[in-house]
């Protein structure tokens, strides 16, 4: 814990005013070359580094953005967080990270904490059903970019993946490979992603003239849930040739379950997921899934936000829908 060197110390030692020191710090207006160099010399001599907090207070911006997401230890989010972080750092911003586990209460306290810290903007991956009001509250204080999970009725930048289309294509693939009796394990239904994926499945089935409805289980994106529903499917001897899950983690669980029960995947039971987390390409049989550009989503969302901060705030809300891609591997 050293002594804090302030702009005043530099000014005194260089024999100039603090205004001048501030000018060389910010290169904000011309300073005579010799003065400039003298000040710079003193700065490095004293090891001075500006107090960003003080600067923030007087400028009204902090150079910090916040990211609110459900759980960094869920394998889908690290890439996303990395994308946000990289884009932020590239523009000289710094990132505060908040985990909510999808609880409205944690989302609320995260929003509050970030706003108190006067972050310049927030990237928000919603997890609770109270998303709208929280996004709205946050938007009153700073720009917000909603990412991954769509939030209706708010006006802010939004970056998502075309979940409907991804799911539609996956379903078509499933139909192409001969499956007609499909079980589907959903994600939490208050999330747009979950709803869209289910809708994609249904519409594709309908479009193909399949009248048999898929067997739908209400899941929650967790590995264990995939595992147990799969076990149920076996136990009940359900007439199903394929289990398609709303995310990879559940698909991995389901696959494990089938394998543990001695079923051959994909011969006796096909399994498909959604996300394309790292694990999915590494296990065997490798999982057929819909790849989401998570890193890219993070980058784009952060860039939307930062452009809005740098240029005027009065840009119209932008939204970007990224195209997911079907990755056919060995599980289907």
Least distance in angstroms from the C-beta of 213 to a copy of itself: 31
Could you tell which of DNA, a copy of itself, none binds residue 86, using a CB distance below 5 to 8 A set by kind?
A: a copy of itself
Least distance in angstroms from the C-beta of 110 to DNA: 20
Please give the structure tokens belonging to residue 48.
């001075």
Out of 9, 46, 78, 326, name the contact with a copy of itself by CB under 8 A: 78
Least distance in angstroms from the C-beta of 40 to DNA: 12
Regarding 44 and contact with a copy of itself (CB under 8 A), the answer is: no
- How many residues are there in the chain? 332
Regarding 228 and contact with a copy of itself (CB under 8 A), the answer is: no
Neighbours of 313 (CB within 10 A): 10
Could you tell which of DNA, a copy of itself, none binds residue 209, using a CB distance below 5 to 8 A set by kind?
A: none
Out of 18, 141, 234, 263, name the contact with a copy of itself by CB under 8 A: 141
Out of 6, 12, 40, 50, name the contact with a copy of itself by CB under 8 A: 50
The span from the CA of 42 to the CA of 10, in Å, is: 6
Instruction: Report the DSSP pairing between strands 325-327 and 289-291.
Output: antiparallel
Regarding 82 and contact with a copy of itself (CB under 8 A), the answer is: yes
3-state secondary structure of 275: strand
Regarding 102 and contact with a copy of itself (CB under 8 A), the answer is: no
Query: What distances in angstroms separate CA 244 from CA 61, 210, 288, one per listed residue?
Result: 46, 16, 10
Q: Are 265 and 258 in contact (CB under 8 A)?
A: yes
Regarding 86 and contact with a copy of itself (CB under 8 A), the answer is: yes
Least distance in angstroms from the C-beta of 136 to a copy of itself: 11
Tracing tokens 């389901």 back to the chain, one arrives at: 254
Distant-in-sequence, close-in-space partners of 63: CB < 8 Å, separation ≥ 6: 52, 56, 92, 93, 94, 120
The span from the CA of 229 to the CA of 55, in Å, is: 55
Q: Is 219 exposed, middle or buried (0-12, 13-18, 19+ CB in 10 A)?
A: buried
Out of 15, 28, 45, 52, name the contact with a copy of itself by CB under 8 A: 52
Could you tell which of a copy of itself, DNA, none binds residue 6, using a CB distance below 5 to 8 A set by kind?
A: DNA
Distant-in-sequence, close-in-space partners of 207: CB < 8 Å, separation ≥ 6: none
Q: Which residues bind DNA (CB under 7 A)?
A: 4, 6-8, 15-20, 22-23, 25-26, 28-32, 34-36, 50-51, 54-55, 57-60
Residues that bind a copy of itself (CB under 8 A): 1-2, 49-54, 56-57, 62-64, 71-73, 75, 77-79, 81-82, 85-86, 89, 94-99, 112-118, 140-143, 223, 252, 256, 259, 278-279, 282-284, 295, 313
């Amino acid at each position: 814990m050293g002594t804090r060197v302030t702009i005043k110390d530099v000014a005194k030692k260089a024999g100039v005013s603090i205004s001048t020191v501030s000018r060389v710090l910010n290169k904000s207006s011309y300073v005579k070359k010799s003065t400039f160099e003298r000040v710079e010399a003193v700065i490095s001599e004293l090891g001075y580094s500006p107090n960003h907090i003080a600067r923030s207070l007087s400028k009204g911006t902090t150079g910090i953005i916040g990211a609110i997401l459900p759980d960094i230890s869920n394998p889908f989010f690290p890439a996303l967080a990395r994308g946000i972080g990289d884009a932020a750092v590239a523009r000289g911003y710094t990132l505060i990270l908040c985990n909510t586990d999808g609880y409205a209460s944690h989302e609320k306290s995260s929003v509050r904490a970030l706003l108190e810290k006067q972050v310049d903007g927030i990237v928000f991956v919603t997890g609770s059903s109270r998303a709208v009001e929280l996004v709205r509250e946050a938007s009153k204080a700073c720009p917000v970019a909603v990412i991954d999970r769509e939030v209706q009725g708010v006006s802010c930048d939004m970056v998502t993946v075309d979940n409907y289309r991804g799911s539609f294509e996956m379903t078509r693939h499933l139909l192409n490979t001969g499956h007609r009796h499909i079980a589907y394990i959903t994600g939490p239904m208050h999330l747009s992603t979950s709803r869209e994926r289910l809708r994609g499945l249904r519409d594709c089935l309908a479009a193909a003239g399949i009248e048999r409805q898929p067997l739908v289980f209400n899941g929650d994106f967790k590995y264990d849930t995939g595992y147990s529903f799969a076990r149920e499917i076996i136990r009940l001897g359900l007439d199903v040739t394929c289990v398609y899950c709303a995310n990879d983690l559940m698909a991995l669980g389901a696959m494990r379950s089938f394998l543990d029960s001695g079923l051959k995947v994909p011969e006796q039971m096909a399994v498909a997921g959604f996300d394309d987390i790292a694990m999915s390409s590494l296990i065997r049989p490798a999982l057929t899934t819909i790849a989401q550009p998570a890193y890219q989503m993070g980058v784009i969302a952060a860039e939307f936000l930062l452009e809005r901060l740098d240029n005027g705030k009065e840009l119209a809300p932008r939204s970007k829908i990224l195209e997911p891609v079907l990755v056919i591997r060995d599980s289907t």
